[in-house]
Amino acid sequence: MRLRKGFTMRKIGTDHVIVPEGVETINFNKLMSLNGSACYLWESLQGKEFQEEDMAKLLTDRYEVAEDTAMIDAKKLADHWIQTGLIDE
């Protein structure tokens, strides 16, 4: 999977938010607020093909978290991004 084109991360107030930009995502009527680890993953995965395992590895590289916990979190986030339309599978 890949992060879909036409989205960028912006800081609005105290939030880091994924916002649609350009004509292709003109009908995407949502803003997604990200926590710290989701921001980190978003920036790290830009322009790359990845699987959930890659997301989990990024989390364990950066945070003190067990592999199985990282895998659960990665899967949850990936599912959420797929459902929201931020990922091309």
Partner 1 sequence: MTIIQTFWTLLQAGLWQKSLPVLDSPLSKEEWQGIFDLAVKQSLDGIIYDGMMMLPEEQRPDRILQLKWYGRVNNNVQVHSLLNRVLVEIVDKFEEEGIPVLLLKGQGNASFYENPQHRQCGDIDLFIGTKNYERACRLIKDWGMNNAEESGKHLHGEWHGAHIEVHRFAAVLHNPAKQRRFVKWSEEMLNDRSNTFIPSTETQPVPILPPVFNVFFVFYHLLHHFSSSGVGLRQFCDLARLLHVYHGKLNLNELEKQLKGFGLMRQWQIIAYLLVHHIGLAQEECPFYKDTGRLSEEMLRIVLEEGNFGYYAENRERKNTSYIGRKWEGFMIHTRRSRRLIRIFPCRAIGNYISVVCRGTKVAIKSLFNHNNKKI
Q: Which residues bind partner 1 (CB under 8 A)?
A: 12-15, 17, 19-23, 25-26, 29-31, 33
Rounded to the nearest whole angstrom, what is the least distance from the CB of residue 60 to partner 1 in the complex?
31
Question: In the complex, what is the shortest distance from the CB of residue 80 to partner 1, in angstroms, rounded to a whole number?
Answer: 18
- The encoded tokens of residue 20 equal 């649609």
Residue pair 55/38 in contact (Cβ under 8 Å)? The answer is no
Query: Judged by CB, which is closer to partner 1: 24, or 49?
Result: 24
Structure tokens of 24?
Answer: 């292709």
C-beta of 23 vs 66, nearer to partner 1: 23
Helix residue spans in the chain (DSSP H): 36-44, 52-62, 67-84
CB of 24 to partner 1, least distance (A): 9
Would you say 29 or 83 has its CB closer to partner 1?
Answer: 29
Rounded-to-10 torsion of CA 74, 48, 36, 80? -40
